[in-house]
Amino acid sequence: DVKVTQSSRYLVKRTGEKVFLECVQDMDHENMFWYRQDPGLGLRLIYFSYDVKMKEKGDIPEGYSVSREKKERFSLILESASTNQTSMYLCASSFRAPPGYTFGSGTRLTVV
Amino acid sequence: GENVEQHPSTLSVQEGDSAVIKCTYSDSASNYFPWYKQELGKRPQLIIDIRSNVGEKKDQRIAVTLNKTAKHFSLHITETQPEDSAVYFCAAAWSNTGFQKLVFGTGTRLLVSP
């Protein structure tokens, strides 16, 4: 069974803090993705990566950055957390096309 | 632009009825269309997918149909059960990323009443 593990299930951070969300997959998937999920807005892509050290902006990259130093790990960084970044963050991974994603369990981040 | 529209946003049915969720996409080159089910508090999970060279695919009570000319695809659930209650997302693989990225619809909340 493919496992995509997100380091935290719930996280509370203060405005202005630098926040790291970690995602690790164990199936040698080339592709990894970060989405945020908000009610009524569905799944919106923040960043994705097709390979180590490679990244592409998604639909809503502002205020975020990513790092992929190893194939199995994809980190999402909130440079200076703001209250409008309070959301559920979902990591996903897949082989190359067709991209049948496997999602992690999500991190519910609250910025106060 | 990259867009997948999904309707309805909410669907309530009685147990045993059928449910249909519809999606349209804008990229005529899209070739892969998965559906995900997300139960409350859980991760989205792939339940069925279809490729562009197939018009219909079935898996027990679930079926997906694809009309490439009209650029729409649908999820059909027959004999619904309370455990089918969840949010369902459609998606399409986008050609400008070598079909490696999915664009998702906004989701349909299905409620099956006993």
State whether residue A66 is helix, strand or coil. Answer: strand
Write the pLDDT tens digit of every residue in A45-57. 999 999 898 999 9
B98: chain A residues, CB-CB within 8 Å: 96-97
Q: Which pLDDT belongs to residue A100? A: 81
Residue A105 has pLDDT above 90, yes or no: yes
B2: chain A residues, CB-CB within 8 Å: 59
Chain A, 46 to 65: residues with Cβ < 8 Å from chain B are 48, 50, 56, 59
Q: Which pLDDT belongs to residue A47? A: 96
How wide is the angle at C-alpha B23 spanned by C-alphas B55 and A2, nearest 5°? 80
Using DSSP bridges, classify how beta strands A64-70 and A56-57 pair: parallel, antiparallel or unpaired: unpaired
Q: Which of A40, A101, A102 sits opposite B106 (nearest CB)?
A: A40
Q: Which pLDDT belongs to residue B84? A: 97
B93: chain A residues, CB-CB within 8 Å: 97-99
Q: Which pLDDT belongs to residue A2? A: 59
Write the pLDDT tens digit of every residue in A40-91. 888 999 999 998 989 999 989 999 999 999 999 999 999 999 999 999 999 9
DSSP class of residue B52 equals T
Pick out chain B residues at pLDDT < 70. Answer: 1, 99
pLDDT band, very low/low/confident/very high, at A98 (cuts 50, 70, 90): confident
DSSP class of residue A26 equals S
State whether residue A63 is helix, strand or coil. Answer: coil
- Minimum CA–CA partner of B100 in chain A: A97
Write the pLDDT tens digit of every residue in B69-98. 999 999 999 999 999 999 999 999 877 777
Q: For every residue of chain A, which 3-state class applies, written as one string? A: CCCEEECCCEEEECCCCCEEEEEEECCCCCEEEEEEEECCCEEEEEEEECCCCCCEECCCCCCEEEEEEECCEEEEEECCCCHHHCEEEEEEEECCCCCCCEECCCEEEEEC
State whether residue B95 is helix, strand or coil. Answer: helix
Question: Among A25, A30, A28, A37, which Cα is nearest to A56's?
Answer: A30
Q: Which pLDDT belongs to residue B99? A: 66
- Minimum CA–CA partner of B31 in chain A: A98
